[in-house]
Amino acid sequence: MRTLEKLLAVAVVAGLAASPAYAAGGHEPEKQDWSFNGVLGSFDKPALRRGYQVYTEVCSFCHGVEFIAFRNLTKIGLTEDEAKAVAEAAQIEDGPDENGLMYMRAGRLSDRLPSPFPNENAARASNGGALPPDLSLITKARRFGPDYLFALLTGYEEPPEDVEIAPGMNYNPFFSGEQIAMFSPLFEGAVFYEDGTEATIEQMAEDITQFLMWTAEPKLEDRKRMGLGTMIFLVLLTGMFIAVKRQVWADVH
Amino acid sequence: MTDPHEPEHNKMQLKGIMGWVEYRLPWVGLLNDSVGTNYPTPRNLNYWWNFGSLAGLALVIEIITGIVLNMHYVPTAEGAFASVERIMRDVNFGWLIRYVHANGASVFFAVIYLHMFRSFYYGSYKNPRELVWWLGLIIFFLMIITAFTGYVLPWGQMSFWAATVITNLASAIPVVGTGIVQWLWGDFSVGNSLLGRFNSLHYALPVAIVGVAIIHMWALHEHRSNNPLGIDVKGPQDTLPFHPYFTAKDLVGVGVFLLVLAGLVFYAPNMLGEPDNYIPANPLQTPNHIVPEWYLLPFYAILRAIPDKLGGVIAMAGSIIILFAVPWLDTSKVRSAKFRPMYRQFFWLFVIDAIVLGVVGANAPEGNWIIIGRLATFYYFFHFLVILPVVGWIESPKPLPDSISTSVLGDKKPVAEPAE
């Protein structure tokens, strides 16, 4: 009996340990200490703004964030006027007008951020056949999420001698299959941060990861805050239930 | 008032408007007979008997959150994924409702599995509760279909490819297979028609689950709960009224259940899901590994253990159908594993086997996983077809106590002793 229970415990632990074994190639990224981790985690507001800048000045030429609207930008520290100004600078296709024609107009707060390509074929044609994925959900759509993204962006290196890189591909040990069509998008000073932060590759990778964690899980802060209150309430409630149960059963034990 | 036509249970003495209603519709009496002071319950039930009420709670949570989600969900191949994201971003508390619904399904299955293993350990499926067991299995089957159709609705990569793989299983049936697959799809490929009908089924089947659950409880209430000793109730000294004793005990389970669910929802809402399902469905790109949700992994492992497609489908269906025969495959008259030293060992081996099957299901079918999967699948059927009947014949059970009350109160053991 006891040995069987031990066996069972071993089986459970082994099972949990073996489960991630189906990660599809690629090195396991190192765990980072994100501000949004943990029970009381929250976004790093200045990093979100910097990350948005990295997105606009680097990523947005190939990648969209289709689920983000200009109005959402107030959540990362832009004032409503600033968000409005960003929207108005964008050209959005609308229509049809009274003549049945589509037309371009300045963006409004309610518009989504426009994606760089009108459709998949256009995106592939501009990228040597590869499709740059939309980034709205990228940190939830990959195993290891933000840690993966950070490792990928900072993980470009010279390929080992025995690896032959296909034409138009780049070596990145964190990418599934280790060959990625995207060239290393970040280089020292790729953006100029107005808050004086030095734009190192690591810094930019950290900032864009914060931003893309926000685009994927914009309610993260609400969730964690509500979670803490709920857990405290439920612990008290369960404690009360236990006390009531003991009281009720006191006379029959 | 001694009306001979008035049934025994209808003796609720209520005044005023309550009495007026009760005389015509004895709902307070019904509740009192079902979960109240007039429902005698074995006094020695331990916490393993909490999972029935928790399953009911999980079902209610799923139905309520599901109704709200369906108000905002768009069941079309074009709109489904974006509508789920709209729920997550723009619907008030939509993220909370969706995370509760998705993780609630996981917790529901966890509860149901514990409920079933409780039954295996204490022999709850035995005479005279075979039909309670059958009705429970029907609920379990309906739950699998409901969970699977629900998994497809967000129309992410895993949704699409799970739907493709599972509906294609029907093509293994000789002659009519392809026809059946196209009938299931309502089309020549997995797309809009399939999504529409899966949405419809996902909404309809829980209603059937509620119905079967009511019959499950109806059948249960005829012979009432089994208990950790597995012996019959011999008189009032063996029981306690359901209320307040077991309502209070069930509430403790409710508290722990809600803590687990809230822990998942607020701190690990995507832990049990597949990242691939946050990628919109793409019929042109197959994911590296197509896996179902964790609670279906053991059955997925059985499906893939057989090298032949039709054989795999038969084995998977058989792994559930065989459960209906368990009350007769288990030849022992003793219910509780407490008094069955040999069966108890095999019970735990079966638990390990089920976990191993789950792990195999999560891994790509290559290398050692193939062999482990086949051995575990073989053992799954071996447990039911050979071990259960043979152990019942050759085992000499320990002597059973005379009654629940002497066993529980005689040597001053606590009533609610933890299970082994």
- My answer on whether B388 and B274 are in the same domain is no
Q: Which of B237, B217, B204 is nearest to B35 (CA)?
A: B217
Instruction: Flag whether B409 is in a domain.
Output: no
Residue B226's domain comprises 39-230+240-285
Instruction: Please give the Cα distance from B372 to A151 (Å, whole number).
Output: 34
- My answer on whether B308 and B262 are in the same domain is no
Q: What digits encode the pLDDT tens for the residues A3-38?
A: 555 555 555 555 554 444 444 457 899 999 999 999
Provide the pLDDT for residue B33: 93
Taking CB atoms and an 8 Å limit, are A231 and B259 in contact across chains? Answer: yes
Q: Which chain A residues are within 8 Å of B278, Cβ to Cβ?
A: 137, 140-141, 216
- My answer on whether B281 and B383 are in the same domain is no
- My answer on whether B260 and B396 are in the same domain is no
Instruction: Flag whether B420 is in a domain.
Output: no
Selected residue of A241, A246, A247 to mutate for chain B interface (largest B Cβ count, 10 A) = A241
- My answer on whether B272 and B385 are in the same domain is no
Instruction: Flag whether B411 is in a domain.
Output: no
Q: To the nearest whole number, what is the mean pLDDT of chain A?
A: 91
Q: Which chain B residues are within 8 Å of A67, Cβ to Cβ?
A: 82, 85, 89
Q: Which chain B residues are within 8 Å of A249, Cβ to Cβ?
A: 245, 248-249, 415-416
Provide the pLDDT for residue B226: 97
Instruction: Please give the Cα distance from B187 to A181 (Å, whole number).
Output: 36
- My answer on whether B205 and B268 are in the same domain is yes
- List the Cα angle B351/B353/B359 in 5-degree steps: 110
- My answer on whether B176 and B139 are in the same domain is yes
- My answer on whether B206 and B220 are in the same domain is yes
- Whether the predicted pLDDT of A60 surpasses 60: yes
pTM of the shown model: 0.93
Domains: count for chain B: 2
The helix (H) or strand (E) run that includes residue B329 is: helix B326-329
Sorted by where each begins, the domain ranges of chain A are: 23-68+112-216, 220-247
- My answer on whether B199 and B325 are in the same domain is no
Catalytic site positions of B = 221, 225, 249-250, 293
Q: Which of B362, B35, B2, B394 is nearest to B224 (CA)?
A: B35
Provide the pLDDT for residue A9: 57
The stretches in chain B having pLDDT less than 50 are: 1-2, 7, 413-420
Q: Which whole-number Å values give the CA distances from B151 to B74, B75, B102, in the listed order?
A: 15, 13, 9
Instruction: Locate B156 and state its tokens.
Output: 């992410």
Instruction: Flag whether B113 is in a domain.
Output: yes
φ and ψ of B371, to 5 deg: -65, -45
Q: Which whole-number Å values give the CA distances from B19 to B13, B32, B232, B287, in the listed order?
A: 7, 15, 36, 63
Beta bridge partners of residue A171, listed in sequence order = A179
Instruction: Flag whether B191 is in a domain.
Output: yes
Provide the pLDDT for residue B407: 86
Instruction: Flag whether B414 is in a domain.
Output: no
Reduced to 3 states (helix: H, G, I; strand: E, B; else coil), residue A107 is coil
Q: Domain containing B179 — which CATH number?
A: 1.20.810.10
Instruction: Flag whether B338 is in a domain.
Output: yes
Taking CB atoms and an 8 Å limit, are B252 and A14 in contact across chains? Answer: no
Distance of CA B141 to the CA centre of its chain: 8
Name the region of A208 (left: φ>0; alpha: ψ -120 to 50; beta: rest): alpha
Provide the pLDDT for residue B408: 80
- Other beta carbons less than 10 A from residue B168's beta carbon: 16
Please give the single-letter amino acid code of residue A248. Answer: V
Instruction: Please give the Cα distance from A16 to A8 (Å, whole number).
Output: 12
- My answer on whether B337 and B390 are in the same domain is yes
Provide the pLDDT for residue A13: 54
Q: Which CATH number applies to A23-68+112-216?
A: 1.10.760.10
Instruction: Please give the Cα distance from B142 to A215 (Å, whole number).
Output: 36
- My answer on whether B76 and B167 are in the same domain is yes
- My answer on whether B60 and B205 are in the same domain is yes
Q: Decide the pairing of beta strands B239-241 and A179-180.
A: unpaired
Mind telling me how many Å the CA of B7 is from chain A's nearest CA? 30
The interface predicted TM-score of the complex, written ipTM, equals 0.91
Instruction: Please give the Cα distance from B258 to B54 (Å, whole number).
Output: 10
